[in-house]
Amino acid sequence: MGAAGFVLPSALGVVSGALCAPHARSSGWVPEGRRICARLQRSRVRQNRSRLVAVDSGSKGNDERTVDILRDTPARLIGYTNECGEAFRFFIGGPGVALSYGVAFSYVCADAVYQAMRRGGGEGAHAARVKSAIALDTLIWQTLASVVFPGFTINRVVYFSEHAMAAGNNALLDNHMHAVSASALHSACTLVGLCAIPVIVKPIDWFAHYLMDHAVRPWLLNPALHIHFDQDAIELDDK
């Protein structure tokens, strides 16, 4: 920050004080001056909120210089294990798919703990509440965005692909034509499922963020933990 970190707050204070001064109220631009003053004051309040802690589950963290080892490295691919398991369901069976979900959920739990330790910081009761809030928020978001929604989507993609290809296969048999073997049909369904994974990532992430912001956080997390989520930050009540 350096000199800019000192000059900018000081300049905001000077301008805000000038706009809110008594002589400003006697001028003809009082409404506009008050609006500017309010915006500056809100900006200063946001800068001075030491109790606000970044908690956006889809962000890379406050410190962009620090690499998030679970989101910015190949370790992120572990979160796609269950989608791959659903795509390979015909070859690995139910137990293999269940194992893939176990691996993916292990990644979710690890990320929840890691984000809490990485972003929470500090010691004491307040820091413990912050870490708990970050961990719970991350756990729910990751469960939805990395396990539940993508797993269900790939499962349905493979299911409907198999039914469509089977129908086409039966049509070939009805016309006394050479049908595709079961192994080839299953391989094609698996390929369709794998190709669908990169397509569904961003829409599912967006929907998970939307659901968290409009349902889970205001209806569940806020009342239960006395936490107020404000886009990419949280504020804890003194309760």
For the question of whether the overall pTM of this predicted structure is more than 0.75, the answer is no
Quick one: pLDDT band at residue 131, thresholds 50, 70, 90?
confident
The two tokens of residue 174 are: 């009805």
The reply to whether 42 and 113 lie within a common domain is no
The reply to whether 75 and 141 lie within a common domain is yes
The reply to whether 2 and 94 lie within a common domain is no
Q: Using DSSP, state whether 177 is helix, strand or coil.
A: coil
- Nearest alpha-carbon partner for 182 in 161, 154, 162: 162
The reply to whether 60 and 152 lie within a common domain is yes
In this predicted structure, what is the pLDDT of residue 183?
A: 87
Which residue range is the domain that position 77 belongs to?
55-236
Instruction: Report whether 197 contacts 154 (CB < 8 A).
Output: yes
The reply to whether 85 and 40 lie within a common domain is no
The reply to whether 64 and 7 lie within a common domain is no
Residue 9's Cβ-count burial label (10 Å; 0-12, 13-18, 19+) is middle
In this predicted structure, what is the pLDDT of residue 118?
A: 84
More confident residue, 4 or 156: 156
For 71-92, the pLDDT digits (tens) are: 888 999 999 999 999 999 999 9
The reply to whether 192 and 76 lie within a common domain is yes
CB atoms within 10 A of CB 100: 22
* CA atoms of 113 and 204, how far apart (whole Å): 22
CB atoms within 10 A of CB 209: 16
Last residue of a domain, one of 48, 63, 82: 48
- Nearest alpha-carbon partner for 40 in 22, 20, 68: 20
The reply to whether 11 and 118 lie within a common domain is no
Give the chain's domain count. Answer: 2
- Nearest alpha-carbon partner for 150 in 217, 220, 222, 77: 77
The reply to whether 67 and 173 lie within a common domain is yes
DSSP string, 203-233: HHHHHHHHHIIIIIIIIIIHHHHTEEEETTE
The reply to whether 97 and 36 lie within a common domain is no
Instruction: Report whether 45 contacts 69 (CB < 8 A).
Output: no
Whether 224 shows a pLDDT value over 80: the answer reads no
The reply to whether 64 and 38 lie within a common domain is no
Whether 127 shows a pLDDT value over 90: the answer reads no
Average pLDDT over residues 176-203: 88
The reply to whether 26 and 118 lie within a common domain is no
Last residue of a domain, one of 48, 72, 87: 48
For 190-202, the pLDDT digits (tens) are: 999 999 999 999 9
